Amino acid sequence: MSISNPSLKNPCGKFIDFKSDKGIFVYYDKEKEEQIELSLPLYFVVLDELSAISGYSKKHDCGIYSNEIRNVNQNILRVKTFKGGESVTGYYPHIKDTIKAMGGKYTKSVYAMMVSKEKEPEMVNFKFKGASFSAWLEVKNFTENSVIGVLKTKTERNGKTEYQVPVFKFYALSTEAREEAIAMDIILQKYLKEYFMQVPEKEIAAAETMEEDADAIDEVKVEEALRRYTESKPNLPDDDDDDYNKPPF
């Protein structure tokens, strides 16, 4: 870190987890020093997806974290406990048993533009793991060119254990929202390009910070991306097809 090379800052305004035991989305507010529950419905547009490890170590009574990667077979994971009690490094297929023994879970890190009636679009990050990852895995192939809504959760069971999962619904992506998403993704990709170049210590520090990107959007890049972006209707689950052209609000 120096005056000409400041620490890398994650551009997301919120880092959101889904609590399957309560069926709620929450994020940690650093100023209030508490978890804040997000009310449903939630609407967002996917910008990018990465893979990571998160979870909780009973042995060390602390959280588990890792760097974020694009490909589990080609990129190295560095998994650690926050108190420094355990760590493992390697390709996910080679270390997944050790990760599971530590208390870690494969996590999908979804960068998204959150949209609503009342507020300006905001870049956020969803962490889907466990039950919520399974629900996300079922619909992730339908996320392109759509606004995704979570209007409710549903109860599922594994033996005697009950838990909640989010129910995802799809809506048409307007031209305006598409342009905003592309502009926001340009900021995100600039951050990710620098992130993947960092040493492990800087990667972890970057993952835990947030800051608005003050750089101006390159309108030429936005226009080029818009021209390349398909206008075609994506494949959708059958039960969402009839509602696809209805706006979320």
163 found inside a domain:
yes
Q: 235 pLDDT exceeds 70?
A: no
Report the candidate in 97, 83, 93 with the shortest Cα–Cα distance to residue 51.
93
Q: How many structural domains are present in the chain?
A: 1
The reported pLDDT for the residue numbered 147 is 92
Q: Is the CB of residue 113 less than 8 Å from the CB of residue 42?
A: no
pLDDT of residue 208: 46
The yes-or-no verdict on residue 115 having pLDDT over 80 is: yes
pLDDT at 200 over 80: no
For residue 191, is it within any domain?
Answer: yes
* 57 belongs to a structural domain: no
pLDDT value of position 142:
67
Nearest alpha carbon to residue 150 among 161, 163, 136: 136
Cβ neighbours around 233 below 10 Å, total: 12
Helix (H, G, I), strand (E, B) or coil at 132: helix
Identify the pLDDT of residue 241: 57
pLDDT at 173: 87
Q: How many residues does the chain have?
A: 249
Per-residue CA distances from 216 to 86, 183, 219, 220 (Å): 42, 10, 9, 12
36-79 tens-digit pLDDT: 999 999 999 999 999 999 999 998 889 999 999 999 999 999 99
> Residue 96 domain-assigned?
no
* Region 73-91 average pLDDT: 90
Q: How much is the mean pLDDT over the chain?
A: 82
Share of the chain above pLDDT 90, in %: 55
At 199, the pLDDT band (50, 70, 90 cuts) reads low
**Do the domain assignments include residue 122?**
yes
| 1 pLDDT more than 60 | no
Give me the pLDDT at residue 34, please: 92
* Residue 117 belongs to some domain of the structure: yes
212 in a domain, yes or no? Answer: yes
Q: In this predicted model, what pLDDT tens digit does every residue of 146-175 receive, in sequence order?
A: 899 999 999 998 888 899 999 999 888 888
Please tell me the predicted confidence (pLDDT) of residue 25.
Answer: 97
Query: What local confidence, expressed as pLDDT, does residue 240 receive?
Result: 53
pLDDT of residue 106: 94
Residue 160's domain comprises 14-50+111-230
pLDDT band at 6 (very low <50, low <70, confident <90, very high): low
d(CA 225, CA 159): 47
Residue 179 lies in a domain: yes
Residue 238 pLDDT level (bands cut at 50, 70, 90): low
* pLDDT score for 223: 52
